Amino acid sequence: MIAAVHTFNSTGLYFKAELFIVTSIIAWTYLLHAYYKREGIDYRYKKSGAVERTPSGAEKYWELGQCLSHGKCPLEKGVINNLKFLIEIRHEIEHRSTNRIDDALSAKLQACCINFNDTIKSLFGKEFALEKRLPIALQFVTFDGPQRVSLVGADLPANIAIAMDNFHNGLTDDEQKDPKFRYRVAFVPKVSGKASKADLAVEFVKPGTPEADAIERVLLKEVERPKFLPSEIVAKSKATGYPTFSMHDHTILARQLDARNAGKGYGVQVAKTWYWYESWFDKVTEKLAEGWKRP
């Protein structure tokens, strides 16, 4: 999946959406094979009780479509719809050349990335999270109305447009709006009246404001993050599977990582008391999983 994202974000490449779709489908197939293997579910094709084999003699494993249709598939409906859509587009592109489909599919591709990261964390653990390894993509251009029409309208191949329409027609309005099916972000040029905010590439918009109403979906809303005392972090670590982790260990680890540095975002001081965020607990368990020991 990392290869798929790096390919799509690379400059100077053609057929980026096509390359992303093919590579990400491989990633999802491997992920579901790993899940089924762990759960003891045989993901090999069989005929009359015998495992089918390829012409070269290798066992035939389920493709992604079969993985999605299994009764014990762990994915949510929106995630499955997103992947079925990408499979349909792959059928259209794998034997013919296309052009200018990147922009038309970008919301589905973004959802695919977020879904994969959420799924690998929920099924196998937060230590496999990919968000720290993937950078934000920067762009050289802005688009006005006529430019967008030329990008995603006239040049969209007829077979791709028909495949997209056919798939969308089979979904309800709620299924089409599901962010796990397609995830859209609005980039809005903004001149800030406050110097400290002038360089922010991302701005959080509060629900219910005129700005939020102008955007189809409020992507992020400000919430109060849970806070934990050091003793609670230690208790959570013990419950997670590290029973020998002590308050003394916690103090040493926090000093080693300079964890109270406000710029790292691991916690906050309220009055005279320091509280830790969930991100610090994740970092603690990450270090313990790596075998951290007190010096």
Q: Tell me 60's DSSP state.
A: P
CB 38 within 8 A of CB 4: no
CB 185 within 8 A of CB 219: yes
CA Rg, the chain, in Å?
23
What would the pLDDT profile of 50-76 be if each residue is shown by its tens digit? 999 999 999 999 999 999 999 999 999
Residue for token pair 């045989």 = 42
CA distance linking residue 86 with residue 228, whole number of Å: 41
The pair of structure tokens assigned to 261 is 């540095």
Alpha helices in 39-144 (DSSP H): 64-69, 77-93, 102-124
CA distance linking residue 196 with residue 173, whole number of Å: 40
| φ, ψ for residue 46, nearest 5 deg | -135, 150
CA distance linking residue 73 with residue 227, whole number of Å: 35
Contacts of 288 (CB under 8 A, 6+ apart): 237, 242, 245
What number is the average pLDDT over the span 7-21? 82
Question: Residue 134 — pLDDT band, cuts 50, 70, 90?
Answer: low
Question: Residue 24 — pLDDT band, cuts 50, 70, 90?
Answer: very high
What would the pLDDT profile of 145-160 be if each residue is shown by its tens digit? 443 443 344 445 566 6
CB 18 within 8 A of CB 24: no
CA distance linking residue 119 with residue 121, whole number of Å: 5
Contacts of 285 (CB under 8 A, 6+ apart): 126, 127, 237, 240, 242
| φ, ψ for residue 270, nearest 5 deg | -115, 120
What is residue 8's predicted lDDT score, i.e. its pLDDT? Answer: 85
Question: Residue 214 — pLDDT band, cuts 50, 70, 90?
Answer: low
DSSP code string of 206-241: -TTSHHHHTSSS------PPP-B-HHHHHHHHHHHT
What would the pLDDT profile of 232-243 be if each residue is shown by its tens digit? 999 999 999 999
3-state DSSP assignment of residue 107: helix
Q: Based on the number of CB atoms within 10 Å of its own CB, is 112 exposed (0-12), middle (13-18) or buried (19 or more)?
A: buried
Does pLDDT of 18 surpass 80? yes
What would the pLDDT profile of 106-133 be if each residue is shown by its tens digit? 778 888 988 999 999 999 998 888 877 7
